[in-house]
Amino acid sequence: MKWGKRIGAAIVGMAAVLGVVTAPAQAVTAAAAPDISLANVKAHLSALQTIANQNGGNRAAGRPGYPASVSYVAQKLRDAGYNVTLQTCTSCAGSNQNIIAEWPQGDASQVIMLGAHLDSVSAGPGINDNGSGSASILEVALTLARENPTMAKRVRFGWWADEESGLRGSRFYVNSLPQTERTKIKTYLNFDMIGSDNWGYFVYDDVASVKAVFDEYFRTIGIQTEGDTEGDGRSDHASFKSAGIPVGGLATGAGYTKSATQQQKWGGTAGRPFDSCYHRACDTLSNIPDTPLEKNSDAIAYALWKLAVGTSTGPDFSLGLSPSSGTVQAGQSTTVTVNTATTSGAAQAVSLSASGLPAGATATFNPASVQSGGSSTLTIATSASTPNGTSTITVTGDGTSVDRTAQYTLTVGDVSVRTFTNGTDFALNDYATVNSPITSSATGAATSPVKVSITGTHTCSEDLRISLKAPDGSTYSVKPTGSLPCTDLGTRTYSVPVTNEAASGTWTLVLYDAYAQDTGTLDSWTITV
């Protein structure tokens, strides 16, 4: 949460005019919300603390801890089956990224969106501000994926960059939306600081019908709430509110002081701030008590299920992919497990297909049709002509009663594969060995063979041995098949099967020429790895 100007009251009554915050239609009865695992939320907070510890003690926008936080959250969401977009915010510090994750079910013209800012201030790790909101909605999102209920509306989550410098990430996102897309967002719910050590229970009071949903939950557990005045205009909901989108949310307090009346209502200590470590280095894991974190996480799930989730009216199934993303070089293939499960009614036949493939790529399923509850192996094969880049491949399960989709992100290129080049000419005598040092730096694990290309002239040879020696001493070798011609060698390419190798340092390319029968002329080679 940041300090800043408050948004004027002229927009407060807009929800009544729009009339867009409603309960699910009567034809779909709301399902009961699940309990959100406190242990899982705390595990996410522990991961964010570790990221801060490894990156200068903070997760501030424009500093290394922020992209590391993005990587952690985004991977969790991809693994759960979300359609994840990393949106570069060009107006944010360091052009950091927003995370946008959408659950691919429900009416896409009616979106319920939940958000929290992922950055901290530079003074500390920001585990309450705002690891608490970020971790809670992450676990709510993962719970939604595990439960996989039938959706009445589409659900979208956002983790915002650079809130602390002026709501930059959320403002960039809202401003980038065409008006037709803005109108699809029927409610935006914001969660900024929900684990304060001297907590209160504050509910955004911008839209009465949204506040009523949260108040309904807290009444069931015997807790009184208050409207949130400290957060007015100071967190990411302001970006949505200024665009005319109805907003709501929860908070447990920041730097304001708890009153005696509030102490009687909620406990804690009057005369102290709600968060004694607000924007300080002590905003660590030890600054987060279990009670407000657990109750607010469950309240988030309650509101989400109330506003977006319904029960199935007939046979249904779920569709998921494992893994949900992968990287290959052009000409290679990758496999994906397609999992289905019957979520209601009887099992049904599901025919599988894929769309959105890049040029030159094909997709095959084994088997091509399953009964819901079964699985299939998807093989995505690229060709040498498949261009480098990232594609979103949609896998569709065509069921007897309903269709379901899941998305796979395929990257073609050398993003996670080691590449290194040595184009120097080397002289190779008969019965001699040439060692050529090649320095490389790893950017990821090499998951495919290294290709060795040799261009040169050789009068005659029956045995030319090629090997690649890693910095750790491991040797990967390949021997040409058959005899080389006693004429111009031309260009030959050999594959050295380096698998899961990520060592950085000096590698050595080794050529050994044995059994040559030429006249002693030195041979010239140009070697590329």
* Residues carrying an active site annotation: 163
Cα(223)–Cα(37) distance, rounded to whole angstroms?
Answer: 20
Cα(206)–Cα(16) distance, rounded to whole angstroms?
Answer: 11
Contact at 8 Å (CB) between 63 and 112?
no
CA angle 301, 13, 238 (to 5 degrees): 60
Extract the tokens encoding 189: 């719910």
Name the residue among 7, 24, 85, 22 with its Cα closest to residue 244: 7
Cβ-based neighbour number of residue 181 at 10 Å? 11
H-run or E-run covering 263: helix 260-266
Contact at 8 Å (CB) between 397 and 350?
yes
C-alpha distances (whole Å) from 412 to each of 52, 85, 378, 385, 449 are: 32, 18, 17, 11, 15
Extract the tokens encoding 317: 């199934």
Helix axes 133-147, 290-308, angle to 10 degrees: 50
Which residue in this structure is represented by tokens 């004027």?
Answer: 8
Extract the tokens encoding 427: 């002289």
Name the residue among 125, 118, 110, 137 with its Cα closest to residue 28: 110
How buried is residue 449: exposed, middle or buried, by Cβ count under 10 Å (0-12/13-18/19+)?
middle
Contact at 8 Å (CB) between 226 and 150?
no
Contact at 8 Å (CB) between 314 and 290?
no
Cα(250)–Cα(218) distance, rounded to whole angstroms?
Answer: 11
SS (H, E, C) 122-159: CCCCCHHHHHHHHHHHHHHHHHHHHHCCCECEEEEEEE
Question: Can you say whether the dihedral through the CA atoms of 300, 303, 304, 310 is positive or negative?
Answer: positive
Extract the tokens encoding 162: 């650079």
Residue 463: which residues within 8 A CB-CB, separation 6 or more? 479, 513, 514, 515
Where are the alpha helices (H) located in 36-151, listed in sequence order? 38-54, 65-80, 133-147
Is the preceding omega at residue 83 within 30 degrees of 0, hence cis? no
Partners of residue 527 on adjacent β-strands: 454
Cα(406)–Cα(396) distance, rounded to whole angstroms?
Answer: 7
